[in-house]
Amino acid sequence: PFSCEECGAKFAANSTLKNHLRLHTGDRPFMCKHCLMTFMQASALAYHTKKKHAEGSPACQYCDAVFAQSIELSRHVRTHTGDKPYVCRECGKGFRQANGLSIHLRT
| Digit-coded pLDDT (tens) for 23-75 | 999 999 999 988 889 999 999 998 888 877 777 778 888 887 878 788 888 99
The pLDDT of residue 60 is: 87
Cα separation, 39 vs 30, whole angstroms:
5
Beta carbons of 106 and 86 less than 8 angstroms apart: no
* Residue 6 Cα to chain centre, angstroms: 29
| pLDDT of 8 higher than 80 | yes
Q: Which residues contact 100 (CB under 8 A, 6 or more apart)?
A: 86
Confidence of residue 100 (pLDDT cuts 50, 70, 90): very high
Q: Between vectors from CA 101 to CA 65 and to CA 105, what angle results, nearest 5°?
A: 165
The pLDDT of residue 51 is: 79
Q: Domains of the chain (ranges plus CATH)?
A: 2-53 (3.30.160.60), 70-105 (3.30.160.60)
The pLDDT of residue 54 is: 73
Radius of gyration of the chain, Cα coordinates, nearest whole angstrom: 21
Of the chain, the percentage scoring pLDDT greater than 70 comes to 99
Average pLDDT, the chain: 90
Q: For the residues 12-29, what does the mean pLDDT come to?
A: 94
